[in-house]
């Protein structure tokens, strides 16, 4: 069974993320969306909240599993899930430079892991979690930026954090 892992902080999950999950799920038998804590970021949503929001957003994709993966190194997590494939979404050249360096480091640590890059759909090329958080903070429109099933929850949560 080919198991792919799509890691990220997903704070919050966006339509761009969901698009990558949908497309990546066609490349593997099982796709694990691994919700990670990024030590360089202070998340607005807890790990449990992010897992819940993603689960609501990917319920229509039958071979996707969502898992909170706090602490530890990605290669160890991948090994624990019997995965040899890491899937990363790319929006811009700057994403590629950053992710390329990470992929090379991962390859140095575990030569059996492969990183697959999926380019974003052009209609999501400007969508980022940080942009969504900023827009929501000031009461901006989130329609078409985050999954409809979580839009109101994101708006209320983000706005409440900044009151």
Q: Has 2 been annotated as catalytic?
A: no
Q: Has 157 been annotated as catalytic?
A: no
- Indicate which residue of 50, 88, 91, 133 is catalytic: 91
What is d(CA 63, CA 58) in angstroms, rounded to the nearest whole number? 10
Structure tokens at 14: 């966006």
Q: Has 129 been annotated as catalytic?
A: yes
Helix (H, G, I), strand (E, B) or coil at 26: coil
Q: Has 57 been annotated as catalytic?
A: no
- Indicate which residue of 2, 41, 60, 156 is catalytic: 41
Distances from the Cα of 88 to the Cαs of 14, 132, 139, 150, 158, in angstroms? 14, 20, 30, 23, 26
- Indicate which residue of 50, 129, 133, 155 is catalytic: 129
String of DSSP letters for 66-131 = EEE--SS-HHHHHHHTT--EEEEEE-SHHHHHHHHHHHHHHHHH-TT-EEEEEEPPGGGTT--HHH
- What is the set of active-site residues? 17, 41, 91, 129
């Amino acid at each position: 069974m080919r198991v792919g892992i799509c890691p990220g902080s997903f704070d919050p999950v966006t339509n761009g993320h969901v698009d990558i999950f949908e497309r990546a799920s066609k490349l593997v038998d099982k796709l694990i969306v691994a919700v990670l804590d990024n030590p360089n970021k202070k998340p607005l949503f807890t790990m449990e909240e992010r897992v819940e929001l993603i689960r609501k957003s990917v319920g229509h994709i039958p071979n996707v599993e969502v898992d909170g993966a706090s602490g530890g190194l990605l290669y160890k997590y991948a090994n624990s899930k019997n995965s040899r494939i890491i899937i990363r979404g790319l929006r811009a050249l700057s994403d590629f430079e950053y992710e390329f360096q990470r992929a090379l480091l991962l390859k140095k640590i575990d030569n059996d892991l492969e990183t697959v890059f999926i380019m974003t759909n052009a209609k999501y090329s400007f969508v980022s979690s940080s942009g969504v958080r900023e827009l929501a903070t000031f009461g901006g429109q989130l329609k078409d930026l985050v999954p409809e099933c979580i839009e109101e929850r994101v708006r209320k949560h983000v706005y409440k954090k900044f009151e």
